[in-house]
Amino acid sequence: MNLLAVWLGKLVLGCLRLIGRRGNALPGLVVEKVFPRYLPRAMARLTHGVVVVTGTNGKTTTTKMVATILAERYRVLTNDTGSNFVRGAITTAVEHSRWNGRLPYDVAVFELDEAWAVRFTEVVPPQRLLLLNVMRDQLDRFGEIDATARLLAKVAAVTTDAVVLNRDDPRVAAIAGETRAAVSYFGVAPELRAQFPNDEELYGGPLYVSYLPAAAELRALPSEASPETSLNVGDKDVQVLLRAEGAHNAQNAAGAAALALTFGFFPSEVASGLRRVSPAFGRGQSFDVEGRRLVLQLVKNPAGFRQTLRTLDNADPAAVVVAINDDYADGRDVSWLWDVDFVPTLRGRATRLSTSGTRAADMAVRLRYDDIDVAEVEPDLEKAVRQAVSTVDTGAQVVVFSTYTAMWALHAILLRIGRTTDDRVREEQEIP
């Protein structure tokens, strides 16, 4: 039956390619309808089982980190296209299966959003689970964050072997009591805690410091003096130059490291895996547009936006564009922009600042009320980028913060008017 399912899925994929589409959901949907048991059967054959990575922020990059570390030993199947649903997982499995129906991998690492993680794990109970954080995100779609935490607890309850929790997020740490799998933790050193506010702390709640032992702990962030991130992994200190920038990625690296330890990986393997992780789609990817370096950063929710803004701490871009769309996938409600404090990063900077996307004017209003000057409000994404590029010197950097649908549009625009300077995207570009 797996054979037929794989053939069916590959057929749909092939048809999509013929008409020039790169489908993620459709092949999975068709296979799911016709062979509902395909995915659990295929996954059950993986020697080292399934790893699920979930939480509000950092899933995509952390999934990439876990997959890259595990690749030090195993053949890893992963959904690194940002398609984080059950059907995306089926498509990934089908696409990577041989024509004889075999899946030539040892372990699968899947990124799933909180709601889909529940549905996925009802079908495929994972061996391992990495829970990153629970933050407010698109409340018009997901409802309250307490409800989100309950979803994550359900996923932990069906995980069989190991659950790795962020000890610094009280909603996540509390899930330890909800699983029969072995629990371990990752975290940041107490002296760094204030730099990683959880949802309560963002709104003035007291700083929460956990003393649970962490299997992997972030010890020091990169600085201008020392560009390496310091981690303690399984009681051993390791230094890693992370290509995925930003404090949140350093924190996520500790999560990925703790997960790898549950496989019995050595700290040296963890470190060498982390060094090879390149930025994920839209998370710090860079492009060359007319001799200017353009960096694309995805922003989806208040906590994520705050973290991503901090990538400007050690950077001095000549221009910044903030592109806010309000399509369904972005969240129709743009009120979350008011939960981001732009003052520390943007007020008083000489950087040329402009806003774009369907809600360009909303974003400009938000910045104005933080007393930050906006040079231009240009809803058209391409015009906004071209304008930003043309006002800065050759060799200068332009950073674009963008919501989900704006990022996809920008990605296409940037490949057309410029070229990627990231290896992985170049590969994607060749696929019609």
Residues 334 to 363 in contact with other proteins, rule: CB under 8 A:
334-339, 358-359, 361-362
User: Of residues 59, 293, 366, 411, which one binds other proteins by CB under 8 A?
Assistant: 366
Report in angstroms the alpha-carbon separations of 367 from 338, 340, 346, 376: 9, 10, 9, 12
Place of tokens 């992780």: 277
From the number of C-beta atoms within 10 Å of its C-beta (0-12, 13-18, 19+), residue 368 rates as exposed
Among 308, 314, 396, 318, which Cα is nearest to 351's?
318
Residue with Cβ nearer other proteins (29 or 151): 151
- Span from 10-18, 97-105, 106-114, 325-333 in contact with other proteins (CB under 8 A): 325-333
C-alpha span between 259 and 273 (Å, rounded): 13
C-alpha span between 401 and 421 (Å, rounded): 18
User: Of residues 15, 33, 140, 380, which one binds other proteins by CB under 8 A?
Assistant: 140
* Helix, strand, coil % in the chain, rounded to nearest 5: 45, 20, 40
**For residue 367, what are its two tokens?**
């910045």
404 CB contacts (<8 Å, ≥6 apart)?
Answer: 298, 300, 325, 327, 329, 330
User: Of residues 136, 219, 352, 411, which one binds other proteins by CB under 8 A?
Assistant: 136
Report in angstroms the alpha-carbon separations of 74 from 260, 265, 353, 409: 12, 11, 45, 35
C-alpha span between 361 and 341 (Å, rounded): 18
As measured in angstroms, the least distance from the Cβ of 312 to other proteins is 21
- Span from 122-130, 142-150, 187-195, 229-237 in contact with other proteins (CB under 8 A): 142-150
Q: Is 326 in the site for other proteins (CB under 8 A)?
A: yes
User: Of residues 66, 364, 392, 407, which one binds other proteins by CB under 8 A?
Assistant: 364
As measured in angstroms, the least distance from the Cβ of 334 to other proteins is 8
Residue with Cβ nearer other proteins (71 or 115): 115
As measured in angstroms, the least distance from the Cβ of 356 to other proteins is 13
Q: Is 423 in the site for other proteins (CB under 8 A)?
A: no
Residue with Cβ nearer other proteins (138 or 285): 138
The site map against other proteins for 179-208 (x = CB under 8 A) is ---------------------x--xxx---
User: Of residues 122, 237, 316, 371, which one binds other proteins by CB under 8 A?
Assistant: 371
- Contact yes or no for 131/152 (Cβ under 8 A): yes
- Contact yes or no for 126/58 (Cβ under 8 A): no
The contact set with other proteins (CB under 8 A) reads: 136, 139-140, 144-146, 200, 203-205, 326, 332-339, 358-359, 361-362, 364-366, 368-371, 377, 379
